[in-house]
């Protein structure tokens, strides 16, 4: 780890602050600004954390200019073609690819933790039939803290391992329960003899009235989507899990805060918004009119699924999902999928438009994912839930990395205060 030296000089007074920048294994050097407030009484000001490293991490690396995404050093393109979501979850959490025995033990632990407490199932009866599944999933995960609070010592590695197994195993079951609640259908219990994605599809689509056979093409497509959504460095929801977790709160409560942050349309909620946008555009003929609204910034209309805080090039995940669309839609018999055709034309037109070129706006992970979820029969309201299921692996990995770090401190940002200076209280009689 090399360091470079910097010095900040206050020109009026000549006061100085010496600083050092640490280099990581990849990516920009990071300037340690601890001395600034001590030497010069300064804070840094970086709304939205555009250029602020909030922590040190070894989990995932992104190069936004080159469109690179590495999970524990492995390129997403290799992971996507060679791995499985369960193996990726192990890699993200433990830092290394598992041996066959480690993978078998991890997979077994998850397969045998998929059921949820029956009283948790009764929570769903309290939700309105059309409650948004993200609201139900966030609430029910938070309530898991009530079941596992007394037996959870964040600093006990075995407790952290059991937490990881439980939350990865149970979030598909909770997602399925919210899906069935929306549909007014009976809950379908998980089965230990099915793999992660087959179990999920069966809990979503099986009914007591008929036999249900999982389509292996659908299970494989779902597994790839989970892999691509599993982690993404210090994104808003992961940073939320880290900040909540830094207070020492129950890890289920921290994961629930991540679900809530992910829901926003600027983040994971974009996949649901992309489908709404495509349905609103309707046909290729309407694309230019829609893009004109985006460029005129009427009512803050965005081209959903485009743009990214880090990627100023293609999001590598979007490229993989676009290719996947071609294959999966054909194998599912959706060759003439109008939504996909519209999305392809919209991307083609936007990428040639100066407005998007000048702002380096490219398709991100959310632009095409909904096309596949739709082809799998998953409704738009469940798209971000699918994202949350996948991202739970990343949230767990980052929470564990932070909690296991003896140097961990509670996150507590400061501010640039521009409110009133001190003033005296005025009794109400004198205010009228
Ligand atoms: C995810 O961080 C992660 O890693 C997230 C994620 C993950 O895996 O965790 O990758 C998942 O959240 C992907 C992003 C999903 N969101 C969307 O698709 C929503 C649409 N995109 C935008 O809201 C936006 O691009 C953001 C929020 C994703 C990024 O916003 P930034 O980095 O704050 O950029 P910005 O808003 O400052 O935009 C710069 C310019 C602005 O124009 P000007 O003021 O310079 O004229 O680009 C414009 C913006 O108005 N712009 C867009 C746009 N995105 C940015 N204009 C139209 N459509 C868009 N989608």
pLDDT digits (tens, 9 = 90+) for 364-381: 999 999 999 999 999 999
128 is catalytic: no
pLDDT of 58 reads 98
Residue nearest to atom 55 of ligand 1 (CA): 307
Question: Quick one: average pLDDT of 233-252?
Answer: 98
pLDDT at 148 (0 to 100): 85
- Contact criterion met (CB below 8 Å) for 317 and 378: no
Q: Please give the average per-residue pLDDT across 332-358, as a whole number.
A: 93
Whole-angstrom Cα distance, residue 237 to residue 297? 26
Q: How far is the CA of 133 from the centre of ligand 1 (A)?
A: 24
Taken as a whole, the chain contains a residue count of: 432
Instruction: Tell me the DSSP string of 172-230.
Output: HHHHHHHHHHHHT-------TTS-HHHHHHHHHH-BTTB-----HHHHHHHHHHHHHTS
Cβ of 263 less than 6 Å from ligand 1? no
CA angle in degrees (0–180, nearest 5) for 408-411-412:
140
1 or 402: whose pLDDT is higher? 402
79 and 71 Cβ atoms separated by less than 8 Å: yes
**Phi, psi angle pair for 363, to nearest 5°:** -60, 140
Rounded to whole angstroms, how far apart are CA atoms 207 and 202?
Answer: 9
Tell me the mean pLDDT in the region 9-20.
Answer: 95
Average pLDDT over residues 162-176: 98
List residues bridging with 21 in a β-sheet.
4, 31
pLDDT at res. 149: 77
17: pLDDT strictly greater than 80: yes
Q: What pLDDT score does 50 carry?
A: 96
Annotation marks residue 267 as catalytic:
yes
Q: Is there an atom of ligand 1 within 6 Å of 303 CB? A: yes
How confident is the model at residue 414, as a pLDDT?
A: 96
Nearest to 4 by CA among 24, 37, 64, 15: 24
Q: CA 391 to CA 401: how far, in whole Å?
A: 15
pLDDT score recorded for residue 201: 98
Candidates 49, 52, 75, 47; CA nearest to 62 is 75
Whether residue 108 lies in the annotated active site: no
Asked if residue 242 has its Cβ within 6 Å of ligand 1, the reply is no
Q: Whose CA is nearest to atom 20 of ligand 1?
A: 304
Cβ of residue 365 lying under 6 Å from some atom of ligand 1: yes
User: Looking at residue 334, what is its pLDDT?
Assistant: 82
Give nearest CA residue, ligand 1 atom 52: 302
pLDDT at 361: 97
Best residue among 239, 274, 307 to mutate for probing ligand 1, ranked by most atoms within 8 Å of CB: 307
Exposed (0-12), middle (13-18) or buried (19+): which is 53, by Cβ within 10 Å?
A: middle
Query: Over the stretch 35-82, which tens digit does the pLDDT of each residue have?
Result: 899 999 999 999 999 999 999 999 999 999 999 999 999 999 999 999
Q: State the average pLDDT over residues 347-367.
A: 96
pLDDT of residue 169: 98
**Overall average pLDDT of the 103-116 stretch:** 98
Q: What is the pLDDT of residue 10?
A: 95
Catalytic residue among 107, 223, 231, 366: 366
Q: How much of the chain, in percent, has pLDDT values that exceed 90?
A: 93
Helix (H, G, I), strand (E, B) or coil at 9: strand
pLDDT of residue 142: 96
Which of 229, 232, 308, 334 is the catalytic position?
308
- Note the pLDDT tens digit of each residue in 373-410: 999 999 999 999 999 999 999 999 999 999 999 999 99
Check if 304 has its Cβ closer than 6 Å to any atom of ligand 1. yes
- Judged by DSSP in three states, 266 sits in coil
Percent of the chain with pLDDT strictly greater than 70: 100
**CA 72 to chain CA mean position, Å:** 17
Q: How far is the CA of 66 from the centre of ligand 1 (A)?
A: 18
**432 pLDDT tier (thresholds 50, 70, 90):** confident
Given this model, what pLDDT does residue 336 score? 83
Are the C-beta atoms of 372 and 225 separated by less than 8 Å?
A: yes
pTM: 0.96
Please identify, by atom number, the ligand 1 atom nearest to the C-alpha of residue 238.
9
Q: Are 398 and 238 in contact (CB under 8 A)?
A: yes
CA dist 402 and 251 (Å) reads 12
Strands, E, within 352-413: which ranges?
A: none
Q: Which of 228, 225, 231, 276 is nearest to 258 (CA)?
A: 231
- Is the separation of the CB atoms in 394 and 59 below 8 Å? yes
- What pLDDT is stored for residue 335 in this prediction? 76
CA 311 – ligand 1 centroid, Å: 10
Judge whether residue 150 has pLDDT over 80: no
CA distance 262 to 384: 8
């Amino acid at each position: 780890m090399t360091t470079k030296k910097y010095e900040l000089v206050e020109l009026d007074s000549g006061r100085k602050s010496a600083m050092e920048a640490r280099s990581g294994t990849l990516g920009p050097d990071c300037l340690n600004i601890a001395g600034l407030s001590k030497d010069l009484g300064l804070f840094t000001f970086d709304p939205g954390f555009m250029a602020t490293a909030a922590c040190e991490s070894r989990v995932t690396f992104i190069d936004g200019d080159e469109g690179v995404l590495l999970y524990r050093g492995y390129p997403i393109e290799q992971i996507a073609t060679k791995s499985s979501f369960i193996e990726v979850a192990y890699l993200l959490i433990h830092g290394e690819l598992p041996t066959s025995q480690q993978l078998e033990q991890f997979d077994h632990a998850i397969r045998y933790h998929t059921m949820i407490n029956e009283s948790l199932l009764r929570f769903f009866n309290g939700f309105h039939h059309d409650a948004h599944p993200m609201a139900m999933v966030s609430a029910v995960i938070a309530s898991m803290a009530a079941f596992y609070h007394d037996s959870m010592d964040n600093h006990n590695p075995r407790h952290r391992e059991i937490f990881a197994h439980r939350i990865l195993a149970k979030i598909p079951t909770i997602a399925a329960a919210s899906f069935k609640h929306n549909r007014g259908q009976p809950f379908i219990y998980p089965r230990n003899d099915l793999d992660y994605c087959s179990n999920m599809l069966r809990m979503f689509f099986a009914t007591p009235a008929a036999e249900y056979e999982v389509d292996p093409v659908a299970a494989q497509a779902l597994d790839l989507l989970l892999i691509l959504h599993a982690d993404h460095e210090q994104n808003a929801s992961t940073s939320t899990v880290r900040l909540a977790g830094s207070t020492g709160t129950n890890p289920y409560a921290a994961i629930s805060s991540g679900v809530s942050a992910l829901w926003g349309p600027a983040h994971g909620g974009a996949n649901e918004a992309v489908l709404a946008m495509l349905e609103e555009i309707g046909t290729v003929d309407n694309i230019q009119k829609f893009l004109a609204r985006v460029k005129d910034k009427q009512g803050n209309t965005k081209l959903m699924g485009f743009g990214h805080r880090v990627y100023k090039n293609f999001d590598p995940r979007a490229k993989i999902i676009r290719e996947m669309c071609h294959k999966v839609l054909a194998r599912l018999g959706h060759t003439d999928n109008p939504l996909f055709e519209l999305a392809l034309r919209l991307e083609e037109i936007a990428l040639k438009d100066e407005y998007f070129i000048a702002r380096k706006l490219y398709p991100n992970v959310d632009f095409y994912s909904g096309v596949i979820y739709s082809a799998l029969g998953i409704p738009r309201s469940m798209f971000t839930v699918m994202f949350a299921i996948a991202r739970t692996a990343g949230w767990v990995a980052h929470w564990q990395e932070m909690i296991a770090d003896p140097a961990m401190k509670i996150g507590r940002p400061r501010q640039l205060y521009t409110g009133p200076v001190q003033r005296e209280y005025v009794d109400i009689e004198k205010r009228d």
